[in-house]
Chains A and B, each alone.
Chain A
Amino acid sequence: MNRSETVWKSLGKEGLAIRAPWPTVGEEDKLLTRQAKFLRDSMKIFRTATGKAKKGWKTATILVADNYPQWKVDALLWMQSSYDKSTGSFPPTFMKDLKDWTANNVTDKKKIKLTMQFVSFMKKEVDDVGEMAMDTTSPFDQLAIMNESLAYIKSQLNLEEVNASRVDDPELAVPDKIAGNVMPGKPVLWLR
């Protein structure tokens, strides 16, 4: 007898697996898919951080941020205003509009390039997951995911101890240089 049929029977199923109807499943929860991706991407960031870290650090803290800096919030709000909810897309003139908008609204010349890069990156995110990618705050509780996953993170990264915190937690007094790298969806593993 085939293995798949043996397995099927041992799972207590009637009839043959090859005749079984296609599995009925619930709708995908796209926000949950993003949360899962958040954890996967975070692990990648943390692996790089432990690989690059100078020897001798004693404490590992995961820093998460719920908000973007103001210039990114401005860019996201502009994207939201340009997005057509009924068709779920941006206008074909999007990149040109972006150029005009940055020229008129971003005063710091250096920020123009950064804004363009940020917006085109976020546009891809919107194509991927929909308009929620333009939320100006994290649409889910990053700290809760990190806290629930600490044992997994610790073991995957071979750390002795790790904890997680909001980057603006006053008790931590995170230096600006480190804090500036923490974004919604992009945590930082702070080794010190």
Chain B
Amino acid sequence: MDLRVSAKDLIPNHLTMALYNHAAVWDDEPDLWPRGYYTNGHIMVDAEKMSKSKGNFLMMLETVNKYSADATRFACADAGDTLDDANFSRDTANAAIVSLSNESAWIKEILVDTDKSTLRSGELNFMDTVLQNETNRLVKATEDAFEAMQFREGLQKGWFEMTIARNQYKSYCKDSGIAVHEGVVRKWCESLVVIMCTICPHW
């Protein structure tokens, strides 16, 4: 077994016992023992513990029906990476529905619907190189985070910081009275789509 994903309250009982069991049954075959455990904290909803008395339970199906599978996954990824309690924020899920849809609309608008001849190409100006460099930096940072199962960190880099970089680029171009650079924007868009397919595969 490569990885067992569980919750932190099981560390002192079940997860430890499972290690003992493996060690007892396969005492001279350590390669059959679990290779990795990953645990997370309890899941809160809007920073409150889910409880019967408060009635603030979120059921999986209900949540998916309400926010869509992707926005639910987005809010789960954003909920937290550590052993601290993870926080599922309804606002984050709601905002994700809108921002995911806005991004795909923007990509389509700028690279499909816009007349290509109105976009810039060729030599890069200062801000073009900045967006290109941010794309390089953030794709790598997201990859590193995902490989370490740090999904909140990955979302921070691969979505939030990516869109911040693009927003600055957009207003820089607008304020300078120039069109965006097709090649640089295309690389940013293609990278964003692939990055986000990991967390929002139905986006």
Q: How does the 8 Å CB contact mask read for B104-129 relative to A, with 1 for contact and 0 for none? A: 10011001100000000000011101
Across the interface, which residues of B come within 8 angstroms of A32, CB to CB? 129-130, 133
Q: How far is the CB of A135 from chain B (nearest CB, A)?
A: 19
* Complex Cα gap A117–B177 (Å): 42
Question: Is there contact, CB below 8 Å, between A148 and B175?
Answer: no
**Cβ < 8 Å to A, chain B residues 112-166:** 112, 125-127, 129-130, 132-137, 139-140, 143
Residues of B within 8 A of A155 (CB): 175
B45 at the interface (CB under 8 A from A): no
Instruction: Determine if A18 is an interface residue (Cβ-Cβ < 8 Å).
Output: yes
* A3 lies within 8 A of chain B by Cβ: yes
Which residues in window 95-145 of A have CB below 8 A to B? 144-145
Asked whether A11 lies within 8 Å of B133 as measured between CB atoms, the reply is no
Contacts A7-B104, A7-B107; A151 near B175 (Cβ below 8 A): yes
If the complex has contacts A4-B193, A156-B175, are A25 and B134 also in contact, measured as CB distance less than 8 A?
A: no
Contact of B101 among A3, A10, A17, A20 (CB under 8 A): A3
CA of A21 to CA of B191, assembled, Å: 10
Is the CB–CB distance between B175 and A152 below 8 Å?
Answer: yes
Q: Give the nearest-CB partner of B129 in chain A.
A: A32
With A11-B189, A20-B197 as known contacts, state yes or no: A28 contacts B107, CB within 8 Å.
no
The interface residues of chain B lying within 8 Å CB-to-CB of A20 are 193-194, 197
Cβ-based interface call for B195 (8 A): yes
Question: Contact: B193 with A17, CB < 8 Å?
Answer: yes
Closest chain B CB from A44 CB (angstroms):
13
Identify the closest chain B residue to A145 (Cβ). Answer: B126
Q: Do B190 and A4 have beta carbons less than 8 Å apart?
A: no
Please tell me if the beta carbons of A10 and B112 are within 8 angstroms of each other in the complex. Answer: yes
Q: Does B44 contact A (CB under 8 A)?
A: no
Pair A151/B126 contact, Cβ less than 8 Å: no
Candidate in A4, A21, A28, A152 with the most chain B CB atoms within 10 angstroms: A4
Question: What A residues does B171 contact at CB under 8 A?
Answer: 152, 156
Determine whether the beta carbon of A36 is less than 8 Å from that of B140: no
Q: Is B37 an interface residue (CB 8 A)?
A: no
Q: Kindly state the separation between the CA atoms of A33 and B130 in the bound complex, as whole angstroms.
A: 7
A13 at the interface (CB under 8 A from B): yes
Choice from B112, B134, B186 contacting A36 with Cβ under 8 Å: B134
Q: Answer yes or no: A29 CB below 8 A from chain B CBs.
A: yes
Complex partner residue of A23 from B132, B133, B175, B190, CB under 8 angstroms: B190
21 A-B contact pairs sorted by A residue (CB < 8 Å): A7-B104, A7-B107, A7-B189, A10-B108, A11-B190, A13-B190, A20-B193, A25-B139, A25-B191, A26-B132, A28-B137, A29-B129, A33-B137, A39-B130, A144-B126, A145-B126, A151-B176, A152-B127, A152-B175, A152-B176, A154-B175
